[in-house]
Amino acid sequence: MHGMRPLADQVALVTGSSNGIGRAIAAEFARQGASLAICGRNSGRVSEAVAEIRDAGGVAEPFVGGLSSKEECDALVAAAIARFGRVDILVNNAGEVKMEPFLNFSAALWQQHLDVHMSAALYCSQAVTRDMLTRKCGRIIHISSIAAGMGGPGFTAYGPVKAALESLTRVMAVELAEHGITVNAVAPGPVMNKMMVQLYGEEALRERALSIPARRLATREDVAHAALFFALPGSDYITGQVLGVDGGARAAGCYTAGIYQRRKAEAG
């Protein structure tokens, strides 16, 4: 395992890795020796993420573009393979959250969630699998959410598309196991980041943390460590699994209904 760098000589592509959870995953993989394909729509943030890894002594290359169509997904994977020669690990992390009630949810917003969460993961996985099949090995990791198994208000699209992503994880795992490719998912609970603060506000998030058995929200690093587990050489017999990273929230039946209703009331 190359000493203390178990991902040495591995190439990882992490979608949505210019900020947030994806950036933390990319940084952790780089620390473990992997070369990183950093991708995102904002060229400035992509450059910052690449510089962060390079400054720490790692290897990273920038790839700027969206994932809203099969053509864009195919182009991203092709560009990464052209630069590095192969992709050993794919992390489908790109995503966004728009909280709207069921009756008000628009067709455009619904399609947007399907494109970025589900279709992008499907198309990127198809493209990278064709490369992995030539070597009979590979790791694909989806970033899901505990919202996949909960009925929190406002999760009109986010919950269903994450549930679909977990189903896709199992289908892919069954089909690809004989080819030495594992497919797993990480399902975080609430993560303390800018997006969550914008959605709920700091006070509501402090209240939310009190309902979690671990008494805190997850950090980006908590999620990155879980993703790393599925990428490590010792995890090659683990496939089709969903690993919750939620401090016990799902086990305790906790969800965001309370703070969502509070935010809705405050908004009038």
Q: Are 88 and 141 in contact (CB under 8 A)?
A: no
Report helix angle 158-176 to 120-133, nearest 10.
20
Cα(199)–Cα(152) distance, rounded to whole angstroms? 14
| Buried residues in 134-161 as b, exposed as e (16+ CB within 10 A) | eeeebbbbbbbbbbbbbebbbbbbbbbb
Residue type, 170: R
Q: Which is the catalytic residue, given 158, 200, 255, 260?
A: 158
Cα(116)–Cα(133) distance, rounded to whole angstroms? 25
Element holding 245 (H helix, E strand): strand 242-245
Q: Are 204 and 157 in contact (CB under 8 A)?
A: no
User: Annotated catalytic, 158?
Assistant: yes
Of 54, 158, 55, 140, nearest in space to 90 by CA: 140
Of 51, 14, 226, nearest in space to 128 by CA: 14
Positions annotated as catalytic residues are 158
